[in-house]
Amino acid sequence: MNADILVELTYLLSAILFVVGLKRLQSPATARGGNALASFAMLLAIIATLVDTDILGWTGILGGVALGGIIGGIAARKVEMTSMPEMVGIFNAFGGGASALVAVAEFLNSPTVGMSTAGVSMLLGTVIGGLTFTGSFVAFAKLKGLITGNPITFPGQNATNGVLVLGTLALGAMTLGVFGGQDPATLFYIFCGLSLLLGVLMVIPIGGADMPVVISLLNSYSGLAASAAGFVIGNMVLIISGALVGASGLILTQLMCKGMNRSLANVVFGGFGGTAGVDRAQIGKRPVMRADAEAVAAELGYVNSVVVVPGYGLAVAQAQHELRKVGDLLEERGVDVKYAIHPVAGRMPGHMNVLLAEADVSYEKLYDLDEINDDFAKTDAVLIVGANDVVNPAARDPQSVIAGMPILDVDKARRVIVMKRSLSPGFAGIDNDLFYSDKTLMFFGDAKNSMSDLVREVRELA
């Protein structure tokens, strides 16, 4: 058989295995095998490329692979599960950056490409990859706390961004010689700079708790950038894989927006959240019922059913292992323990599930919002750990800023226990009536310390 055909068939097999690998992610039982299959597909594609390309020098290629492999391998081993959103953010940056560099290199190789399929693909790859690169870095910095998690806004921000987008488009057209013969290479460098700037400006106005949307969206972009790079070098497996990732990111983006009852435009342009404009003096003035670990243990240990609602505070305090111990002890006492997970709990889709899986909580005990909401009315006690907006009944009030957001109906349970550091508001910046309800007990403190105390107290129950 002709070597070219063999290479093409290997690419095709690789594309098929990517789809099959993703399909196996439909169940936790087959997911690990699916991931292995996808990584095998990647290996096949790389081998096909190495065979297909007349490689002039191996040093750079092997050096790059070795360096990247070491960095990636160490990062993947060391990262804490609580830091997964940052990790995915930074990996996104690298993926987008790599696609952008491919497009940049191909453009500089033939700067007079002009208005053609190749030219347009190169510029698209550059702009999408470039803004994914810087946007992901900003998201990473926000998640890591290197810069403020609150929205960074300035007057006329959306207008500025709009002008910048139009400017980038116009510059792109000029680079391809649409308006006559300027020096394409110089124009292209400015185009690159604008692409990088767009990524920064796109992410800075978006606040911390909207990060699940941003991370998903950037994930989608990193796929689209890879597809664009595929059009540049005329490689189908890049186009296909990029399209798969683009679709995946877009689906997650939609789910996250639905989880907050907000449109994508509202998340991206809204500058929502942060507590800067809220009169904090009015929040937390009403009396609450406090409880200590002993009282909470008694509330949880002598009932039939407990539902735990984890939030970002659980991740911050790294209290997932202590939480699992509490769950185990309660189950030993015959209590039915379930975990209710809101779609946007945490800082990325599925963040809480990974934390609980790390703590060895069986995935069969994790329920999403639709599965569990009808159960709260039959639940004896709800234990909320570091969550706020996702259980705020204000979402049922049409006047509220979070009106219409799907919430966990914890206030239908017989007893609600809220483990939280203080009465400070969540990301939406509003007070939570749940805390002042006559069925709610506030268990103040750092989630990890509180949870350790709770482990001890549940153990001591008769």
Footprint (CB under 8 A) of other proteins, residues 219-248: 219, 222-223, 225-227, 229-248
C-beta closer to other proteins: residue 255 or 461? 255
The angle at the Cα of 14, spanning 11 to 17, to the nearest 5 degrees, equals 155
Which CB atom, from 108 or from 276, has the smaller least distance to other proteins?
108
Q: Which own/partner contact pairs does 373-377 have at CB distance under 8 Å and 24+ positions apart?
A: 373/408, 373/409, 375/307, 375/338, 376/307, 376/408, 376/409, 376/410, 376/411, 376/412, 376/413, 377/409, 377/412, 377/413
Residues 245-264 interacting with other proteins (rule: CB under 8 A): 245-249, 251-252, 255
Q: DSSP H helical segments within 234-272, as ranges?
A: 236-260, 264-269
Please name the helix (run of DSSP H) or strand (run of DSSP E) that holds residue 414, with its range, or none. none
Q: Are 365 and 339 in contact (CB under 8 A)?
A: yes
Half-sphere exposure of 258 (CA within 13 A, CB side): 10
For position 195 contacting other proteins by CB under 8 A, the verdict is no
63 in contact with other proteins (CB under 8 A): yes
> Which single residue is written with the structure tokens 């992901």?
136
Only segment of 99-107, 156-164, 275-283, 374-382 that touches other proteins (CB under 8 A): 99-107
Size of the site for other proteins (CB under 8 A): 111
Stretch that binds other proteins, among 87-95, 166-174, 274-282, 448-456 (CB under 8 A): 87-95
389 is catalytic: yes
- Among positions 111-150, residues that touch other proteins (CB under 8 A) are 117
Position 162 contacts other proteins (CB under 8 A): no
Q: Of 7, 13, 19, 174, which one interacts with other proteins (CB under 8 A)?
A: 19
Toward other proteins, which CB reaches closer, 353 or 392? 353
Q: Tell me whether residue 199 or residue 271 sits nearer to other proteins (CB atom).
A: 199
Closest separation in Å from C-beta 238 to other proteins: 5
Chain residues 413-442 in contact with other proteins, contact rule CB under 8 A: none
Please report whether residue 79 would count as binding other proteins according to CB under 8 A.
Answer: yes
How many other CB atoms are there within 10 angstroms of residue 357's CB atom? 16
Query: Can you tell me which of 124, 143, 215, 309 binds other proteins, judged by CB under 8 A?
Result: 215
Q: Do the Cβ atoms of 388 and 420 come closer than 8 Å?
A: yes
User: How near is the Cβ of 359 to other proteins at its closest, in Å?
Assistant: 9
> How far apart, in whole angstroms, are the C-alpha atoms of residue 322 and residue 297?
14
In whole angstroms, give the CA distance from residue 444 to residue 435.
Answer: 11
Residue 441 β-bridge partners: 417
Burial of 112 (C-beta count, 10 Å sphere; 0-12/13-18/19+): exposed
Q: Does 216 bind other proteins (CB under 8 A)?
A: yes
Q: Which residues within the stretch 28-57 sit at the binding site for other proteins (CB under 8 A)?
A: 28-29, 31-32, 34-36, 38-39, 42, 45-46, 49-50, 53-57
* Alpha carbons 64 and 114: distance in angstroms, whole number: 31
| Residue 357 touches other proteins, criterion: CB under 8 A | yes
Active site residues: 389
